Structure 1
Amino acid sequence: MEHSKIISAAMKINQLTDLNTYVIDNSGEFVFYHEDISIPAFMPGSGQEDVLNLYNQMMIQQMNQLYSYTNEWGLHYLGYSFSTNDSFAVIIGPFMYLTPDMYGLSREYNLRNNESEDLRSMCNQIQVLKTDKANSFASILQQFELLINKEAVPIRIVANKDNEKYRKRENNSIMNDDADIVTMRYKLEGNIMHAVEQGDKTTAIKLLNSNDMLFSFSERFPNQPLRRVKNLAIVLSTLLRNAVIRSDVPAIFVHRVSEKYAYEIEYSNQLSKLQQLYEGMVEEYTDLVIANTLTHYSKVTQKVIEYLISFYDKQIDKNELAELCFTHPSHLSRKFKQETNMTITGYQQMIRMNQAKHLLKNENISIEEIAWLVGYEDASYFTRVFKKETGYTPSQYRENN
């Protein structure tokens, strides 16, 4: 069989599923390779390890069958084997059935903060499929031989035993889809507002862009897309305005920005322009917080505060921070305390406590997890610091709020 026909069929599979697509011959060579998503090197399955594991299982079993494979942290693949003059395997994936527990994975594999972010970025790109859609992709894969103009033979599915570690997670994660989406929407709203309130533009925009489908609300006004998008823009503007007001920005400044966007939303008649407003609103409202809470500080102190907001969960290296600000560590410490009436460490602790309060009020996760997320390895030490700052233990604060 000509490889060109196989490649053409593989390209069609890739276009239909939008998943990584691989075709491997009986010597283990890649005939076709289209990979949009790469697994980080520090996670099991990286470097086509999962693909080759599935391929090796397929090659020792019967041809013309569909296979499934699940790795230990929940990535799924589908493979179909067939033979003409030679044997081949076509594999698609990864995809997921459940949104991953990022905290759990970070702890299980002892990931550093930058590794956790890389993993989160990759997982945000992976499709989370319902069973029906995954079955549809499996049906498409079964038609691979038809796509290369060969008569397909009857196929039965061979589902390999799922990885036991993943199966335990799956059994503990069954929930109602609709309720889950509503919960995620409110959680996302709270996280975006919190980021804006803290002046953290990067996080706010990242949250907005990476989860935009949660706010699609396609079930509302299905035949009136312009009205639906205008309503969503008004909702977002209201959320952002409330977040800025909570940051003690003068009301007149907030009113001016709010009126500007109310006018633009009302008189925009193109979906593309309305959708472009989303990110613009996040940027402008967040800039309003930054401009009106840091203007009375010097450029050096502003830079330190912006750094602490972004990296509050990391240990402070004052020498490295001083180099970033092109000054001496002692001078930096004196100037920062002179302007803020706090030490750099104390300011970071304040940010950590504010973030911990937000998590305690809005996240159903353990005190130990919250301590780790805000930068404390020792949960007992975190509890002592939190009580000293607030007068309450974390558990008491959560109960009261």
Structure 2
Amino acid sequence: MNMDHALFSTLLNNLLSVDVTDATDMDISLEAFEKKYCFSIRMQPMFTQDALHYLLSSSKGGMIYEVIDQLGICISFFTFDNRSYIIGPYVKEKYSELKTETMLAKNDKSSSKSLAFKLYYTAFPIVYTEQITSVVNKCIISFSPAESEYSYRRLTGFIQDVSEEDDRTELSEKNYSEIYRRYDQEKQFLSMIRNGDTKNILSAFEKMSSPEVLSVFSKESLNYYASGYGLAILKALSRKAAEESGLSVITIDEITQKYTQLSSATNNADLQTRYQIDMIVELTKAVHNHRLSLDKYSLSIQRVLEYISLHLGDHISNENLSANANMSISHLAKVFKKETGVTMTEYIALLRCKKAANLLKKTNLPIQEISSYVGYSDNNYFVKVFRKNYGMTPTEFRRNA
């Protein structure tokens, strides 16, 4: 009897909630894999078509291989019934800002890459080796009961060697009134997010889902906010409310994707609910901070400030800034100085020095690497700018930190 390979892949994917690639046709599948998943060829040599071809071709039967690159991104691969399968990418721990900054600086990447990497990293589910090996073996035995259990092997030296996711209920009049009431509560709740009301947002959510409030609802509505569907709807509405406040959609996606990843790593309903609440609180705080720091500026200057923040480690030209503000360079310079109190050059230097100061305090990275990471290729010039902003050299700052 011929094995259903598509069913096998789908079963693995559903049980692990991780992408599964049938890589038997290596020329097509591996090229697509590299284009879809490779963030940096130099830092992820294992994700290149050639490297994967070599690994899969050299793999032995009865073995599950796992590779972890220096970015913390993992894949597993194995052969079964004369076909090759790749599981992943996936990660094993939650995102670390400091770890990312250290890694990017060591690899001569600018700070502007950190947000792109964060969005890349948090797009993958958190899965552990034991889950991979257990599910793979169970699926293999389900399709081929006579098959021996596969062993596990981690390829630790690969990076150096290679170098470069109908219950229908009739609605009575009472249920309609409950829906209206629930929507009224949601409107108040979302208004708090829109206004950055960090003081009351948590108590508002708890009030919406408290037993005292829900006790007046029918059985059908009782667990609405505690259910996966109810929370998913509330999550989408919260994102929209944050966007309507003027908060950058990039910041919104950064926050929500992080908590989506954390939720995917557990089957504990209480913990998943906790993550959703934490996401809502963090969104509201972000709106609050946005209103404090950017709401006082015109929309044109807000766009310029956001561009600077997103490209801080890159070369930032006046032409790029004026294009974002949709005004001439000379007019932008006057408006920027009037609204912020400093020139664009001074503002960029201050932000870069703040980021550098944080790395000087929290890491042992060489000053040259920190300089390059925050956007200064000339270390001597970086020292001069840093001294102007902090009254001391980076070395002196680190010594006194």
Instruction: Name the TM tier (shorter chain).
Output: 0.5 to 0.7
Q: How far did 1:41 drift?
A: 6.3
The one of the two structures with greater contact order (alpha-carbon pairs below 8 A, sep at least 6) is 2
2:78 is aligned to 80
Distance 1:329 1:52, change over 3 A: same
Structure 2 residue aligned with 1:288: 291
1:56, distance to aligned residue in structure 2 (A): 0.7
2:221 corresponds in structure 1 to none
Q: CA 1:386/1:105 → structure 2, altered by over 3 Å: closer, same or farther? A: closer
**Residues 66 and 311 (structure 1 numbering): CA distance in 2 closer, same or farther, change over 3 Å?**
same
| Structure 2 partner of 1:162 | 156
Secondary structure class of the residue paired with 1:94? strand
Contact 2:105 2:369 in 1 (8 A): no
Question: TM-score, structure 2 length as denominator?
Answer: 0.60
Query: Unaligned regions of 5+ residues in structure 2, if any?
Result: 162-245
| Match of residue 142 from structure 2 | 147
Distance 1:88 1:223 in 2: 37
Q: Deviation per CA, 1:52-74, whole angstroms, max 9, x where unpaired?
A: 3332113xx4x4x1131426646
Task: State whether structure 2 residue 86 is matched by structure 1 residue 91.
Answer: yes
Alignment of 1:108-119 (within 5 A): 111=109, 117-119=115-117
2:11 is matched with: 12
Q: Which residue is equivalent to 1:137?
A: 132
Query: Whole-Å Cα distance in 2 between the matches of residues 155 and 70 of structure 1?
Result: 20
Change (3 A) 1:157 1:10: same
Matched to 2:352, the amino acid is R
Tell me which residue corresponds to 2:352: 352
Q: Which residue of the partner structure matches residue 235 of structure 2?
A: none
Instruction: Give the Cα separation in 1 of the matches to 2:262 and 2:86.
Output: 32
For 1:103 and 1:223, locate their aligned partners in 2 and report how far apart those are by CA, in whole Å: 33
Q: CA deviation at 1:392?
A: 1.7
Aligned to 1:68: 65
Amino acid aligned to 1:15: N
Note if 1:209 corresponds to 2:256. yes
Kindly tell me: are residues 17 and 225 of structure 1, through their superposed partners in 2, closer, same or farther at Cα, counting changes over 3 Å?
closer
CA separation of 1:166 and 1:20: change in aligned 2, threshold 3 A: farther
Q: Is 1:55–2:56 an aligned residue pair? A: yes
Distance 1:285 1:159, change over 3 A: same
For 2:311, the equivalent position in structure 1 comes to: 311
Letter in 1 for 2:367: I
For residues 111 and 356 of structure 2, the distance between their equivalents in structure 1, rounded to whole angstroms, comes to 17
How far residue 140 of structure 1 moved from its aligned partner, in angstroms, is: 2.2
2:395 equivalent in structure 1: 395
What does residue 277 of structure 1 align with? 280
Shift of 1:145: 3.3
Aligned CA RMSD, in angstroms, stands at 4.4
Identity %: 20
Equivalent residue, structure 2, for 1:193: none
Contact 1:314/1:375 (8 A) holds in 2: yes
Distance 1:336 1:41, change over 3 A: closer
- TM-score scaled to structure 1, two decimals? 0.60
CA distance in 2, matches of 1:17, 1:145: 14
Q: Secondary structure at the match of 1:314?
A: coil
Cα distance change, pair 399–203 in 1 and its aligned pair in 2 (3 A): farther
Cross-structure match for 1:258:
none
| Aligned counterparts of 1:166 and 1:152: Cα–Cα separation in 2 | 38
1:112-166 per-position Cα deviation (integer Å, ceiling 9, x unaligned): 666554444222233455xxx3133213222333332x32332452637532546
Aligned equivalents of 1:113, 1:142: Cα separation in 2: 42
Q: How far off is 1:8 after superposition?
A: 1.2
Asked whether the equivalents of residues 383 and 393 of structure 1 are also in contact (C-alpha less than 8 Å), the reply is: yes
Distance in 2, matches of 1:328 and 1:159, equals 59
Q: CA offset at residue 102 of structure 1?
A: 3.4
Q: Secondary structure at the match of 2:37?
A: coil
Match of 1:378 in 2: 378
Distance 1:224 1:138 in 2: 27
Once the 2 structures are TM-superposed, how far is the Cα of residue 22 of structure 1 from its aligned partner? 2.4
Q: Provide the rounded CA distance (Å) in 1 between the counterparts of 2:65 and 2:334.
A: 61
Q: Per the alignment, do residues 140 and 114 of structure 1 end up closer, same or farther by CA in structure 2, a change over 3 Å counting?
A: same
**Contact 2:63/2:150 (8 A) holds in 1:** yes
Contact 2:45 2:159 in 1 (8 A): no
Name the CA distance, whole Å, in 2 between partners of 1:75 and 1:215.
15
Amino acid at match of 1:356: A
Distance change (3 Å), C-alpha of 1:302 and 1:37:
closer
Report the counterpart of residue 39 of structure 1 in structure 2: 38
Supply the distance in 2 between the matched residues of 1:164 and 1:121 (Cα, whole angstroms): 25
Match of 1:121 among 115, 119, 122: 119
